[in-house]
Chains A and B, each alone.
Chain A
């Protein structure tokens, strides 16, 4: 019972909002759309839900072409960033409302079951405004699952919640939604959220899907520079390098190339390395020393971040634990060359320095 986009495009006036996209979303497990604001996440969701019609291409659900079918007739559910509940109805009536519209029997049992899953059992008689933000969003989620629809679309459903509540719901959602045999599509702008939810991820940038695959896999093996940037938080360090023979050169630094990058032709590349692969102390195994001047430091308690400069290049290092840096001081950082990505002139991944973790 997959949901399929076949060569879908969307133009609005003269602007192209979605470039030709073909994707297959399977039921069970999460399908995540990850991208910045305006990358096209909400537009894709509206197209899949039938709220907008594609300019070209087709949308298939369960082996049937549903392009142009009214959203009410598609048996789908949609949860937005803003909690949408009927303010004058109780939580019970809110959850029951999609079933009443669909004239389903067995309403009471299904409402109570959905309420149980979302821990709303004791709140069924309350009105939405008597609930906390997290409970209101759980009520909206209960309305989405009670229908037992073929597909559930969630458009940044946790964005308006407090950090800790977000963490809690994010932890529970895969269990609540993942095992219902429904296709779940979840849009987010946060790379960490995508990793926490797991499943499959489609990376979006400026109306194009740049990569799609199992979430941790595409995190470790970005196909191009754009995908690597979309899926890095904090941002990936990027710098121009030159390959000469068996070495990479970056200003005054050089290091031996290993892994698939050893096969590359000599010439100019862009090196990409995530901040947690540049460390303030020498790790076990091969590392390249970078002597930089510390510009800014941030301590999150569990992790330390340092922004440092070497020549014209800015770098960011992220390491576990607390590390006492002094601003303006020079410090020896250590880059792990096996964790480097090398991108060619058109931005495609040309090779890596070896292992990735």
Chain B
């Protein structure tokens, strides 16, 4: 178990990078506490896999250092970093039993058999595989194979970090849900530093204590799931997290007021800056149908079971609202109100209004 520090890390896949766009990973400074559960979240190509490969040692960064508990491991190969990894597809020995698969990482390190046995049984119980220990791995269903793969990652208790690279992508939703809860429970029990890489917001937010959101090789926000949802620092975070994502409305700022289509909107707090492109950000959860407010025409109504998403057009701007109760029809003219405490100003993408006073 270790504290992980990333110190001025940069990486380029080009031989002679000269400008910021040549870097797959721009400057990353980060410190992860020992025993924390972290997620790296972002779309394909955002640099999250590059970062993971640098931490595991599969890739040497162009600049900067990786420290485990203060010790520089930047140039150590993966096998000397004492880490465990779980990949998107199960990595197991088909010809071995479940027991031998789980025992393998321990036997490989000459752990004595009594300890191996105790540990294998403990992990198998946590994963609800205790009655399958003698089954040949080739006879398992895909989700049980992935459980073994996760078990192999979890079986050693002396690792610095366990890294998961999209481990649930190939799993059906119901099992995905179970495995996700299992992993969360395991982390609460064994408290090893875990890093979970995914493009799926639900997986990242439900697993991690802290989520690192990445875009174009840069970290745009690090925060708890609640912070990322409640107060996105960047419109990208607002859009990427949440389904549907945050509404982003072009606006004009003058005299300390932000207006959308000529109508002033109350914000969470004072405007801190208004340079460049200005936009208002408000989540669909905080847009309500009302008697007056922004005029819009309902374009689409999606009944998602738990709630209804109403997509309305205010001029050529799309505004989504999550609605409980009475639902308007397609084509209806509606008025929309925004919850001022959850309505923010963004300038050139970055948050530009001050936080609401509690």
| Chain A positions near chain B (C-beta within 8 angstroms) | 36-37, 132-133, 162-165, 167, 189-192, 195-196, 198, 216, 219-220, 229, 233-235, 276, 295-296, 298-302, 305, 307, 318, 320, 322, 327
A298 in contact with B206 given A164-B43, A195-B303 (CB within 8 Å) = yes
- A163 shortest CB reach to chain B, Å: 5
Residues of B within 8 A of A300 (CB): 201-202, 205-206, 225, 229
- B305 shortest CB reach to chain A, Å: 5
Q: Which of B3-34 contact A (CB under 8 A)?
A: none
B185 touches A322 (CB 8 A): no
A235 touches B188 (CB 8 A): no
- B43 shortest CB reach to chain A, Å: 5
Of A162, A320, A322, most buried by chain B (CB within 10 Å of CB) is: A162
B173 touches A190 (CB 8 A): yes
- A233 shortest CB reach to chain B, Å: 5
B181 touches A296 (CB 8 A): yes
Q: Which of B278-310 contact A (CB under 8 A)?
A: 283, 285, 302-307
B230 touches A163 (CB 8 A): no
A296 touches B174 (CB 8 A): no
**Segment with Cβ contacts to A, from B54-62, B238-246, B253-261, B344-352:** B238-246
Residues of A within 8 A of B306 (CB): 276, 318
Residues of A within 8 A of B173 (CB): 36, 189-191, 233
- Tell me the complex Cα distance, A219–B142, Å: 28
A301 in contact with B226 given A36-B172, A36-B174, A189-B172 (CB within 8 Å) = yes
- A38 shortest CB reach to chain B, Å: 9
Q: Is B69 an interface residue (CB 8 A)?
A: no
Q: Is B139 an interface residue (CB 8 A)?
A: no
Q: Is B228 an interface residue (CB 8 A)?
A: yes
Nearest B residue (CB) for A132 = B44
Q: Is B200 an interface residue (CB 8 A)?
A: yes
A37 in contact with B199 given A216-B303, A302-B229 (CB within 8 Å) = no
A296 touches B185 (CB 8 A): yes
- Tell me the complex Cα distance, A59–B28, Å: 58
B188 touches A320 (CB 8 A): no
Residues of B within 8 A of A229 (CB): 174
Known contacts A296-B181, A300-B225, A322-B230, then 8 further A-B pairs from the complex at CB < 8 Å, ordered by chain A residue: A132-B45, A164-B240, A164-B245, A189-B172, A198-B302, A302-B285, A320-B307, A322-B226
A299 touches B244 (CB 8 A): no
A307 touches B174 (CB 8 A): no
B305 touches A216 (CB 8 A): yes
| Chain B positions near chain A (C-beta within 8 angstroms) | 43-45, 142, 172-174, 177-178, 180-181, 184-185, 188, 199-202, 205-207, 224-226, 228-230, 239-245, 283, 285, 302-307
B177 touches A235 (CB 8 A): yes
B302 touches A195 (CB 8 A): yes
Residues of B within 8 A of A165 (CB): 43
A-B contact pairs, 13 of them (CB 8 A): A163-B200, A167-B244, A196-B304, A198-B303, A233-B177, A234-B177, A235-B174, A276-B306, A298-B181, A298-B184, A300-B206, A301-B205, A307-B181
B285 touches A195 (CB 8 A): no
Of B44, B224, B306, most buried by chain A (CB within 10 Å of CB) is: B306
- Tell me the complex Cα distance, A212–B202, Å: 29
A233 touches B174 (CB 8 A): yes
- A309 shortest CB reach to chain B, Å: 12
Nearest A residue (CB) for B182 = A296
B304 touches A296 (CB 8 A): no
A167 touches B184 (CB 8 A): no
Residues of A within 8 A of B239 (CB): 164
A301 touches B225 (CB 8 A): yes
Residues of A within 8 A of B241 (CB): 301
A163 touches B201 (CB 8 A): yes
Of B226, B239, B244, most buried by chain A (CB within 10 Å of CB) is: B226
- Tell me the complex Cα distance, A168–B303, Å: 17
- Tell me the complex Cα distance, A177–B336, Å: 30
A327 in contact with B302 given A189-B172, A234-B177 (CB within 8 Å) = no
Residues of A within 8 A of B305 (CB): 195, 216, 219-220
B242 touches A302 (CB 8 A): yes
Residues of B within 8 A of A220 (CB): 305
Nearest B residue (CB) for A192 = B304
Residues of A within 8 A of B172 (CB): 36-37, 189
A195 touches B304 (CB 8 A): yes
Residues of B within 8 A of A195 (CB): 302-305
Residues of B within 8 A of A164 (CB): 43, 199, 239-240, 245
For the complex of A and B, the 8 pairs showing the least CB-CB separation, nearest first, are A301-B229, A298-B206, A216-B303, A162-B199, A300-B205, A299-B225, A36-B172, A195-B304
- Tell me the complex Cα distance, A296–B126, Å: 14
A162 in contact with B243 given A299-B206, A322-B226 (CB within 8 Å) = no
- Tell me the complex Cα distance, A233–B172, Å: 11
- Tell me the complex Cα distance, A189–B170, Å: 11
Residues of B within 8 A of A320 (CB): 285, 307
A162 touches B44 (CB 8 A): yes
A162 touches B43 (CB 8 A): yes
- Tell me the complex Cα distance, A189–B171, Å: 10
- Tell me the complex Cα distance, A233–B304, Å: 11
A327 touches B188 (CB 8 A): yes
Residues of B within 8 A of A301 (CB): 201, 205, 225-226, 228-230, 241-242
- A335 shortest CB reach to chain B, Å: 16
- A33 shortest CB reach to chain B, Å: 14
B226 touches A299 (CB 8 A): yes
Nearest B residue (CB) for A277 = B306
Residues of A within 8 A of B178 (CB): 235
Residues of A within 8 A of B201 (CB): 163, 300-301
